[in-house]
Amino acid sequence: MNRTDSNNGGHFITLEGGDGSGKTTQIELLANFLNERGIDVHITREPGGTRLGEALREIILHNVDPINDKVELLLLFAARSQHVTNVIKPRLSNGQWVLSDRFTDATFAYQGGGRQMGIKDIEVLQTLVQGDFRPDKTILLDLPVEQGILRLTRRGETRDRIEQQDLAFKQRVREAYLERYHQYRSRIALVDASASIHEVHKAITIEISNMVSSSENRNGN
């Protein structure tokens, strides 16, 4: 079940995808696209989005000591609870569009698929933290795992705990994402992230065109 407060004019859009899929670049391009059309946008990310969330992000992604899988899962949902309550919902209620670099689909993909944790456990925490709150639209940037690894290598940046996982882990993540897409096709749009930056951006704008038109009509543009 999706949000019920979109009548205020705000929309919640999430960008998902494996490592190296280009989410950060595309979320910035999408924000610019929306701003040019008079739409007020807030960019955020998970884990993160709040002071507490960013502190937990540092632990989840860069902690030196090993982290138990269950602890990792609980930290993610703790950060998400703060994020949804203090940032996402208030901004949507004020009519802003919220663009998030990852949300709960990432947990089903990385912890459910990659770490092979129980989906039922994730669903229980999802219900506890979010109730029936879901994004209006999720853009899944799909990229072959090998291409994602190559992109990360070319960046030359230090990899976090998740990015350091092996090929089998990353393949399970991709498969879990695609399973989510097939399960929730009315909400999740699949975009080929192996295309050029311009082509991917164009595909994303097409996927949200109805929401943009509705917002422009509301604003009298």
CATH number for the domain that contains residue 156: 3.40.50.300
The tally of CA atoms less than 13 A away on the side-chain side of residue 64 is: 0
pLDDT of 214 strictly over 50 = yes
pLDDT in tens, 158-173: 778 888 899 999 999 9
pLDDT in tens, 93-111: 999 999 999 999 999 999 9
pLDDT in tens, 172-182: 999 999 999 99
Q: How many percent of the chain have pLDDT more than 90? A: 82
CB 176 within 8 A of CB 116: no
The mean pLDDT value for 123-148 works out to: 98
- Contacts of residue 86, defined as CB under 8 A and 6 or more positions apart, other chains included, come to 50
pLDDT of 216 strictly over 70 = no
pLDDT in tens, 44-65: 999 999 999 999 999 999 988 8
- Contacts of residue 202, defined as CB under 8 A and 6 or more positions apart, other chains included, come to none
- Whether residue 188 is contained in a domain is answered as yes
CB 132 within 8 A of CB 7: no
The mean pLDDT value for 74-86 works out to: 98
Our count of domains for the chain comes to: 1
- Contacts of residue 175, defined as CB under 8 A and 6 or more positions apart, other chains included, come to 113
- Whether residue 26 is contained in a domain is answered as yes
- Between residues 161 and 133, the one the model is more confident about: 133
Please report the pLDDT score of residue 121 as a whole number: 97
Tokens linked to 211: 């929401």
Tokens linked to 121: 């456990």
Residue 102's alpha-carbon distances to 62, 66, 123, 213, 217, in angstroms, are 18, 23, 17, 24, 29
Distance of CA 99 to the CA centre of its chain: 8
The mean pLDDT value for 113-141 works out to: 98
Please report the pLDDT score of residue 1 as a whole number: 43
- Contacts of residue 203, defined as CB under 8 A and 6 or more positions apart, other chains included, come to 191, 192, 195
Please report the pLDDT score of residue 7 as a whole number: 55
pLDDT in tens, 10-48: 999 999 999 999 999 999 999 999 999 999 999 999 999
| Cα gap 31→181, rounded to integer Å | 23
**Cis peptide, bond prior to residue 144, ω within 30 of zero:** no
The tally of CA atoms less than 13 A away on the side-chain side of residue 154 is: 8
- Whether residue 1 is contained in a domain is answered as no
Please report the pLDDT score of residue 155 as a whole number: 84
pTM of the model: 0.92
CB 140 within 8 A of CB 181: yes
Q: Which domain holds residue 133?
A: 6-219
Q: What is the total residue count of the chain?
A: 221
Tokens linked to 146: 């090998």
| Cα gap 18→163, rounded to integer Å | 9
